[in-house]
Amino acid sequence: MPSNYPGFRYGADRETFSAAKVKALESLLIEKGVITGDTVDTVLGYFETEMGPFNGARLVARAWVDPAFKELLVTDCNAACEAMDFPEGMSGAEGEHMRIAENTPEVHNVIVCTLCSCYPWPTLGLPPYWFKDPTFRARVVREPRVVLSEFGVELDESVTIKVWDSSAQIRWWVLPMRPPGTEGMSETELAALLTPEAMMGVATVSV
Amino acid sequence: MKLQHNLGGLEGLDPITPEIEVFVEPWEKRIFGIHTAMMALSNHLDESIPDYDIEGVPTTFKSFWTWGHLRMGAEGMHPFEYFRLRYYEKWLGGISGFFVSEGYITQEELDARTAEFLEDSEKAEAPLPSGGEKAIDDQVVKYLREGDSPMRPLPAPPKFSLGERVRIKNVFPAAHSRLPGNLKGCVAEVVKVYEGAFTYFFPTADGIGVPMPVYSLAFKPEDLWDESLIEPQSIYYNDIFEVYIEAV
């Protein structure tokens, strides 16, 4: 039975207060020369255009069509990023040391950061709320199969689930399996099939 | 003991809430941006691998701010508050508290301006102040592009080797730790010895923050949980700093 845990949607008063407080903080920091009037928008714009799951999707799509590239991606994720025509910055903040875990018919991978929310910013952008939720972080390390089934991923009993937690400085993500029925698709079409959840191991890819 | 250090395996929780949004309220974006700017302007970047002229950046921010600082705040909270507050609510409390404690703003001016916005919806919706030194934003973008690699030369050869069985030490985590508490005393296998050594920038009482080897460790579920609680056909991996590991 679910408890009265509020999930992520709280009452209007609580949100109005936080909105007022963060605006008070930001305006004071601008006035005092800590940041500029454009700093926060500059950061947010960077995540819309430069660092985001669109990069991870292109890497996975390339790996699906090019076995040599897949080998590079799974052995040295940062080198694989270098080999793409990405703009500078794929080994930037929170992506200095990245690793990807490859799903196969025998092995399914899922990522977690039990202690907080470590995440590979250059390839996946910023983490969705479920990933930051203490419920997911607490449960997936012990009962990954049950948690995955709550996300709609039902795995055969023979499949080994590998849970990759990040308590040090390596940032993890997942290389999903290419779905059937995608033969002949271009890399761009394949990349469009990918979601952040698939590249975190809580969804599979389908056409 | 801090509950925040011991989340792994907590029982009795709800089904997953599969909220895929990164921000569920627009205000959350602002505190994320402020935190990222603080990371990009932190005074420790004068010793980073990328060549940042951090002292030359025309910001009044002259403090040391890393993930460790943010996390220590969250780990130091009343545990029930930790669970009552949503992710970015914790950030807002920790970051505004830091600016007050470091003397950039006073609690009174923060409270007064917050009250002003709450009382006057026109002011609350008015644009933020504009202007400022563009070189600040240039440094923020440079940081996002070039990062702050924690990799350093090895100070000594790694103590453990590939394939070795090791045990997680029973360390006292103090205010901030990068060791999940449920792993203490558990046995694991070294499946990768990472190249080089890793710093954490932020020195913790339990010993990280100076360059040291990091290992990928594989834990069998039966070495982590009681038999009645385990899921077969699963392996748990974690990247662990050497100071948390001992020989079996």
Predicted confidence pLDDT, tens digits, chain B (248 residues):
899 999 999 999 999 999 999 999 999 999 999 999 999 999 999 999 999 999 999 999 999 999 999 999 999 999 999 999 999 999 999 999 999 999 999 999 999 999 999 999 999 999 999 999 999 999 999 999 999 999 999 999 999 999 999 999 999 999 999 999 999 999 999 999 999 999 999 999 999 999 999 999 999 999 999 999 999 999 999 999 999 999 99
What's the CATH superfamily of A52-191?
A: Nitrile hydratase alpha /Thiocyanate hydrolase gamma (3.90.330.10)
Residue A5 has pLDDT above 70, yes or no: no
Asked if the ipTM is above 0.95, the reply is yes
Task: Please list every residue in chain B whose beta carbon sits closer than 8 Å to the beta carbon of residue A39.
Answer: 33-34, 37, 132, 136-137, 140
Res A2: pLDDT: 54
Are A34 and B74 inside 8 Å of each other by CB? no
Are A129 and B19 inside 8 Å of each other by CB? yes
Res A4: pLDDT: 60
Query: How many Å lie between the alpha carbon of B162 and the closest alpha carbon of chain A?
Result: 17
Query: Mutate which of A18, A31, A47 to test chain B, going by most B C-beta atoms within 10 A?
Result: A18
Spatial distance between the Cα atoms of A87 and A70, rounded to a whole number of angstroms: 20
Q: What is the DSSP letter of B212?
A: B
Query: Mutate which of A35, A77, A155 to test chain B, going by most B C-beta atoms within 10 A?
Result: A35
Identify the band that residue A1 occupies on the pLDDT scale cut at 50, 70 and 90.
very low
Options A116, A149, A186, A206, the catalytic residue: A116
Contact A90, A151 (CB under 8 A): no
Radius of gyration, alpha carbons of chain B: 21
Contact B179, B4 (CB under 8 A): no
Are B233 and A33 inside 8 Å of each other by CB? no
Res B108: pLDDT: 98
**Per the structure block, which two tokens stand in for A8?**
């992520």
Q: How many residues does chain B have?
A: 248
Name the residue ranges covered by the structural domains of chain A. 12-46, 52-191
Spatial distance between the Cα atoms of A101 and A16, rounded to a whole number of angstroms: 41
Q: What domains lie within chain B, and their CATH numbers? A: 3-148 (1.10.472.20), 152-247 (2.30.30.50)
Query: How many Å lie between the alpha carbon of B125 and the closest alpha carbon of chain A?
Result: 10
Angle made by CA atoms A94, B173, B200, in degrees to the nearest 5: 25
CA nearest A33: which of B52, B137, B58? Answer: B58
Q: Which amino acid is at A87?
A: P
Angle made by CA atoms B229, B235, B239, in degrees to the nearest 5: 115
Residues A165-198 have pLDDT tens digits of 999 999 999 999 999 999 999 999 999 999 999 9
Spatial distance between the Cα atoms of A120 and A51, rounded to a whole number of angstroms: 9
CA nearest A201: which of A123, A126, A120, A112? Answer: A112
Options A77, A81, A113, A166, the catalytic residue: A113
Q: Which amino acid is at A37?
A: G
C-beta atoms surrounding B2 within 10 Å: 16
Query: How many Å lie between the alpha carbon of B98 and the closest alpha carbon of chain A?
Result: 11
Contact B192, B215 (CB under 8 A): yes
Query: How many Å lie between the alpha carbon of B92 and the closest alpha carbon of chain A?
Result: 7
Residues A88-110 have pLDDT tens digits of 999 999 999 999 999 999 999 99
| Average pLDDT across chain A, whole number | 96
Strand segments (E) across chain B: 151-152, 165-168, 187-193, 197-198, 214-219, 234-241, 245-247
Sheet order of strands, B187-193 included: A107-112, A160-165, B234-241, B214-219, B187-193, B165-168, B245-247
Q: Counting one residue from A and one from B, how many pairs have CB atoms under 8 Å apart?
A: 316
Identify the band that residue A9 occupies on the pLDDT scale cut at 50, 70 and 90.
confident
- Residue that is written with structure tokens 């702050």 in the block: B148
Task: Please list every residue in chain A whose beta carbon sits closer than 8 Å to the beta carbon of residue B145.
Answer: 50, 88-89, 92-93
Are A142 and B9 inside 8 Å of each other by CB? yes
Task: Please list every residue in chain A whose beta carbon sits closer than 8 Å to the beta carbon of residue B19.
Answer: 7-8, 128-130, 133
Are A25 and B105 inside 8 Å of each other by CB? yes
- Residue that is written with structure tokens 């990222």 in the block: B36
Spatial distance between the Cα atoms of B70 and A120, rounded to a whole number of angstroms: 18
Residue A64 has pLDDT above 70, yes or no: yes
